[in-house]
Amino acid sequence: MSTTPKTILITGASSGLGAEMARQFAERGSDLALAARRTERLEELRAEILAAYPTCRIAIRALDVQDHAAVFTVFDELNAELGRIDRVVVNAGLGKGAKLGTGRFDANLETAMTNFVGALAQTEAAMQIFRAQEAGHLVMVSSMSAMRGMPSSMTTYAATKAGVAHLAEGLRTELHGTKLQKKIKVTVLYPGYIASEMNEKVAQSTPLMASTAKGVAAMVAAIEKEVGDACVPPLPWAAMAPVMKHAPLGVVKKLL
């Protein structure tokens, strides 16, 4: 379990959940390595955090996770600049998507490449650092949609989130019973509806939407506990997880 401030690398940190995680980890005394495509947003976030926490060390880099070579370069540069990366939060992602077979393969491909292949590159880069220092904490941001195949425009997105969850869980299985089990931790987060730029349209249609601050607080709490996996916020999502996994399709469709 986390007991001391850490140096945390967060991708997709320019807005939404990533930016709020940066704020909340800074409040806890952590140093930050922040990466995203929109560097102007990162500059604004760094200035905001430093105004509140002047002793926080913050390194930023432009990063498109579809540029796989850049993922490795940026992770190594941030590790060198800050002297160490203790935790990597694989957060960058897209919410694009369309019904399969409706002529929008381009949107589904972009989501698949960003959310799964991009996450694979980040996991590879993070684990190279962690294996070298024989310590670290990988945090994979999945989604409650990973619990079951989702319909319509959510199909590809949900599949990518199931994929990254299995990627991280497979890594945890590999480490189990080895000398690195207690030194390298793996956490999978399954966020429900948490307000962000990605789901602004959803916010108008569900009463289950948590505020960004509240939802991210639940994420940060689970990360700090270094749990294997967590549905966040716990209420109502921990209770809904088995229903989403095992209920008949007709029941699941009514819940969506």
Which residues are part of the catalytic machinery? 157
Q: What residue type is assigned to position 119 of the chain? A: A
- Chain centre distance of CA 146: 13
Instruction: State the Cα–Cα distance between residues 194 and 15, nearest whole angstrom.
Output: 13
Distant-in-sequence, close-in-space partners of 53: CB < 8 Å, separation ≥ 6: 26, 27
For residues 22 and 34, the answer to whether their CB atoms sit within 8 Å is: yes
Place of tokens 């088995």: 242
Please say whether the beta carbons of 95 and 87 come within 8 A. Answer: no
- Other CB atoms within a 10 A radius of the CB of residue 163 amount to 18
Q: Are 8 and 31 in contact (CB under 8 A)?
A: yes
- The answer to whether the peptide bond before residue 54 is cis (omega within 30 degrees of 0) is no
Place of tokens 């890594």: 171
